[in-house]
Homo-oligomer: A and B are copies of this chain.
Amino acid sequence: MTTKKATHQLTRQHNRDLVLRTIFSHDSISRAEVARVTHLTRTTVSDVVNGLLSEGLVEEVGRGESIGGKSPILLSIVADSRYLIGLNLAQDKFTGAVVNLRGEIKEIVEIPVHDDNGEKALKLVYQILDQLTRKKLKPIVGIGVGTPGLVNTREGIVVNAVNLEWQDLPLSQLLEKKYKLPVWVLNDSQAAAIGEYVYGGEHVPDKNLIVVNVIHGIGAGILINGRLFQGDGGGAGEIGHVVVQENGELCRCGKRGCLETVASARAVVQQMKMASLEEVFLAFQDGNSKAKAVVENAGHYLGASLANLIGTLNIQKIVLTGDMTRFGQEWLSAVNTSMQTGAFFRMTEDTKLEIGKLDYRACILGASAFLLLDDYSLLFNEEN
């Protein structure tokens, strides 16, 4: 309700978020520069900064260069003033980490996953969180979970995660009850997208960004104006099941010739008839010609799908993350070539394709950072 009082509070909250994000996205910054960037008045910035200083979220870290007059005091986020927990429920192992506000991993726990699904998989999640919350890092302000499958983030429900055999699992509710912390659940590829955006150097407000996560499966996270776009049902970015080969291999989704059946890490392992991606990677490094061909073919089909994504969304920055990025430049250039040929020149000429900077951390950091991005007030327990 936008009563006068509420409007005033909303403005305060909005200003606080704006200032905090601005300080967050710089190593250090002066009050004057914050005012310039945010278009807020100097007075408003000072008031907000005083609040952040007293909460211990921000600190003064010395003086910057003078631009005529007194050299300004610089502000910086206190990286270890709060901690977040991020989880990545990947195919072969679950990983959890405690990270600070700068996305630095302070503690990490990994548990291999075999045929653990349903109730068993949930117990592994508890096991990781038990271990992480027992550590001495405090205060922890929330838990973010990146999981494969279709997720209803607002309600914290895993609608459908085939591998884990989770259907309509109220994961947020279960974890909130057990750990007394705010919990966000989101799709792993969407989490990876947030991770690259916030901690991978892409953190530009109003920016559009697509992050394509190529692991056991393939999914994308789409940021529009710096916000994760999840679609009406939470499933935006499910590009792994776009059909790229008529009458191709049978996919686990029941259709044939999905992108996942030719371009995912699993597809590559299957085509090489090997036991793991590690094995394929070693063969690839040794110059095994079949491995090269299989990886190039995988890149080719991924690129064709990216061309379609570009046609649909015309977003000019695409970042690739996940296991397949291990194949580096050779794979990337196969992807790029096919992406360029598959789309209009006028639409690809300004499109930049690159490999993400966070490696395996993307999903973990994204899951935790989602707490920051989406709702500061929730994260920092301010009045709502």
A13 at the interface (CB under 8 A from B): no
Instruction: Tell me, in angstroms, the Cα distance from A345 to B242 when the chains sit together.
Output: 14
Instruction: Tell me, in angstroms, the Cα distance from A120 to B137 when the chains sit together.
Output: 72
Residues of chain B contacted by A159 (CB below 8 angstroms): 346
Instruction: Tell me, in angstroms, the Cα distance from A344 to B245 when the chains sit together.
Output: 17
Least CB distance from A376 to B in Å reads: 19
Q: DSSP class of A's interface residues: helix, strand, loop or mixed? A: loop
In contact, A242 and B308 (Cβ under 8 angstroms): yes
Contact string, A1-33, partner B, CB cutoff 8 A, digits 1/0? 111100000000000000000000000000000
Instruction: Tell me, in angstroms, the Cα distance from A232 to B351 when the chains sit together.
Output: 9
A314 at the interface (CB under 8 A from B): yes
A369 at the interface (CB under 8 A from B): no
A246 at the interface (CB under 8 A from B): yes
In contact, A342 and B309 (Cβ under 8 angstroms): no
Which one of A60-68, A70-78, A233-241 is at the interface? A233-241
In contact, A346 and B232 (Cβ under 8 angstroms): no
In contact, B41 and A233 (Cβ under 8 angstroms): no
Residues of chain B contacted by A307 (CB below 8 angstroms): 242-243
Contact string, A229-258, partner B, CB cutoff 8 A, digits 1/0? 111111111110111011000000101000
Contact residue among B1, B243, B311, B317 (Cβ-Cβ distance under 8 Å from A239) = B311
Contact residue among B2, B253, B309, B346 (Cβ-Cβ distance under 8 Å from A39) = B2
In contact, A311 and B346 (Cβ under 8 angstroms): no
Instruction: Tell me, in angstroms, the Cα distance from A343 to B224 when the chains sit together.
Output: 23
In contact, B40 and A314 (Cβ under 8 angstroms): no
